Chains A and B, each alone.
Chain A
């Protein structure tokens, strides 16, 4: 790949490297691009990354493992899209994803990224675990396989395999059952949704997964989907139509907010709860859904709510996007975004850090532990708070 073949060849030089994109909406600090927050060298800022990509495609710089790490440290959180004042801002993150695609095409990707993609290709999930184990989370729940129910509950890889995220999957399923929602699951038939794969630049694998999923959903007669993960929500809603898959897609926060409103479920009283909420990027900045999870939390009798200083459009990503929950380019430091976020949650004096994404759940729970805050603050998916 050279610059002339690159999709954004007429755009990438337009980044001025002015750094507006380092800030959150309230301008409170230069640390809202997670890799820049973590490393604080200009090469890790959005602008630095774009200039490096251009230099590589131009032949000014050779590819190197460090270059690949810098490019892959972008977690696709879209803060840069939000803050760049230029007319091309919508494409800032796309320019980075396209560079990842160029690296994939040339087979020049970091090892961990290669493992992730291979696992998804071979096993339908990034962990390389057996399809059968996808049903582990369902144990004892008495769930029906999808067969013409109103909704498909698509759990996704983290909710299925990650022991911590399984808790959120189970809580959501229980709430849906309790409310009498007609839904079924795919169990071991489920495969990766492809969102991370696309964020990692593997377009062909996204297409493959999307087509497989669309065929499966269509054959089963699926019309409406509830997702546990905002990542699945994003790709089903925004990318599957490009491959012919038109479904009505809902994130579990939207469904739960609606069930609460209709009185079909009731939030348990939690008089001692002081809750703060971490916006997931793929629900928030990618899909502008800020209110549904807050409505869920507002419905909890007795609980108080406190926003973190950086919230909604200005939220700091947990650092887990674009496969980073697995590849972990941003880990290992007190400046890892998840740890910064854990401290920010603590600053609100909340005793519950609510999330609405299985990635955020695992990233932030680890961070809270590493920060030694686990006695002060519990990380909970909104569904878990409703089943407390």
Chain B
């Protein structure tokens, strides 16, 4: 047994530290098209103390460490680019506090989004958080580390806009807290202290998020998916704009896909309306369709597809099994809502070139402040040629995002390079300095957001 492995066992116990090939294999791959990258060790701490000890060990021995939550980004962001230790954080999953009136929840960052949703539903049915459309095993820490967005993106923005407080283990093993919790007065706000935006969106390259206070929002008793359809993609931005003017929809998503045929070349706009009573819902339906979208309905270019569909947990991962292939990966871009038509057209061309049925989706973030637009490429895990097609399509899409002046969301290493090449020099210099100060030995998820 190597001395690092022995140390890891000493810290977390032998069940939760492994250098066996089977564990290393499992953590060498993610769900997307990335080539395998092998860690040397895998460790699953339970407490912040254990995590701190692991980070200190890594820092002393200059061993790379890669924090891992659900491992669900698809983009290889928690694969060890330079070997080292994978730190699986999912045992750090406690709910520490819910402040009902203050509308926040404090959790350990390895907790799954599914667990939070379930807990709130049972114990605080009038409160909810913004759960990403990812599989429910996605963790809070992992999602914040990539600026995720969830089902409250339309009214409230990115999930990282909903943070009320953070605790982070720094690459040296020290602990730092941010927000009101830093002055010991509870976890109720990030403001008005000086801004230290050093951890959100960094793919764990600056520190490991261990505790988070997340804002909670009113959860209405009923929620329904009201679906509107247009044939002409040019109408989509305006439809979204009109609906967001009402400020009532909880989630607002436009989508189009080649399969099933009834969705091909049509654009479905899913409007999640909620209410505490039938009257409230009826009012929202009325405002949405009879007032705001009436011009589309009257002129016959848009129509209501369905009303009253109960909203269930999205199971997007089903699209992985197109043609029984078991895989897909997507490029997400943060773009203005007005980009929808071009993103759709160019994306479906890329899909066509790679023999993959197109699937695109745009989720409105904030009051049409931006949109997360995704192009998904399915592949067959057992057929390398299709994996290559998907990988090539992803790269072409990354380049497309750059060409149209978008920003790539949770870019894989390829996309990160494209973004860094174009990034403002001042910002680049600062990123480099920040990284040097926080992570003097360059151990934290190296290869990610790495400025040369």
Contact = CB atoms under 8 A, between A and B. Distances in A.
Given A41-B23, A43-B22, A27 B380 contact: no
A20 B317 contact: yes
Interface stretch (B25-33, B403-411, B429-437): B25-33
B118 interface: yes
Interface string B300-342: 0000000000000101011011001111000000000000000
B321 A19 contact: no
B44 interface: yes
Interface residues of A, number: 40
A314 to B, nearest CB: 11
B317 A16 contact: yes
Contacts of B25: 43, 51-52, 55, 60-61
Given A13-B380, A14-B324, A41-B42, A20 B137 contact: yes
B115 A16 contact: no
Nearest to B383: A13
Given A13-B380, A61-B21, A27 B117 contact: yes
B284 interface: no
Interface string B1-39: 000000000000001101011110111010100000000
A86 B324 CA distance: 10
A87 B325 CA distance: 12
Contacts of B70: 19
Contact of A18 (B20, B122, B135, B380): B135
A15 B135 CA distance: 13
Contacts of A86: 317-318, 320-321
Contacts of A39: 15-16
B16 A27 contact: no
A64 B23 CA distance: 12
B318 A85 contact: yes
B160 to A, nearest CB: 23
Given A19-B137, A28-B118, A41-B26, A13 B382 contact: yes
B359 interface: no
A21 to B, nearest CB: 9
B72 A70 contact: no
A40 B90 CA distance: 8
A43 B26 contact: yes
Contacts of B90: 30, 40
A19 B135 CA distance: 7
Given A41-B42, A61-B22, A27 B321 contact: no
A52 B119 contact: no
Contacts of B72: 18-19
A26 interface: yes
Contacts of A80: none
A43 B23 CA distance: 6
Interface in A70-87: 70, 85-87
Contact of B115 (A29, A42, A51, A87): A29
A15 B326 contact: yes
B376 to A, nearest CB: 13
A333 interface: yes
Contacts of A337: none
Contacts of A85: 315, 317-318
Contacts of A19: 70, 72, 135-137
A64 B382 contact: no
B326 A16 contact: yes
Nearest to B318: A85
B274 to A, nearest CB: 19
B45 to A, nearest CB: 10
Contacts of A360: none
Contacts of B117: 27
Contacts of B135: 18-20
A22 interface: yes
Given A15-B326, A18-B137, A42-B27, A333 B15 contact: yes
Contacts of A297: none
B94 to A, nearest CB: 11
Given A27-B117, A29-B112, A20 B22 contact: no
Interface string B122-141: 10000000000001110000
Interface string A2-24: 00000000110111111110110
A23 B70 CA distance: 13
B177 interface: no
Nearest to A309: B122
Contacts of A385: none
B71 interface: yes
A173 interface: no
A30 B112 contact: yes
B237 interface: no
B91 interface: yes
Contact of A30 (B23, B119, B137, B326): B137
Interface string A308-319: 010000000000
Nearest to A332: B15
A29 B117 CA distance: 10
Contact of A41 (B88, B321, B326): B88
B38 to A, nearest CB: 12
A364 to B, nearest CB: 22
Given A19-B70, A51-B29, A14 B114 contact: no
B44 A41 contact: yes
Interface string B197-224: 0000000000000000000000000000
A55 B90 CA distance: 24
A272 to B, nearest CB: 28
Contact of A14 (B22, B91, B326): B326
B82 interface: no
Given A16-B327, A27-B117, A22 B26 contact: no
A67 interface: yes
A48 interface: yes
Interface string B47-77: 0000000000000000000000011100000
Contacts of B327: 16
Nearest to A24: B118
A142 interface: no
B381 interface: yes
Contact of B16 (A41, A61, A87, A88): A41
Contact of A40 (B71, B91, B112, B136): B91
Question: Among B71, B137, B321, which residue has the most Cβ atoms of chain A within 10 A?
Answer: B137
Nearest to A14: B326
A40 B88 CA distance: 9
A27 to B, nearest CB: 4
Given A18-B31, A18-B72, A333-B15, A48 B26 contact: yes
7 contacts: A16-B320, A18-B31, A40-B16, A42-B88, A43-B22, A52-B25, A62-B21
Interface of B: 15-16, 18, 20-23, 25-27, 29, 31, 42, 44, 70-72, 88, 90-91, 93, 112, 114-115, 117-119, 122, 135-137, 313, 315, 317-318, 320-321, 324-327, 380-382
A-B pairs with lowest CB-CB distance, top 3: A19-B137, A14-B326, A13-B382
Interface of A: 10-11, 13-20, 22-23, 26-30, 38-43, 48, 51-52, 55, 60-62, 64, 66-67, 70, 85-88, 309, 333
Given A52-B22, A88-B321, A333-B15, 4 more contacts: A16-B327, A27-B118, A60-B25, A86-B320
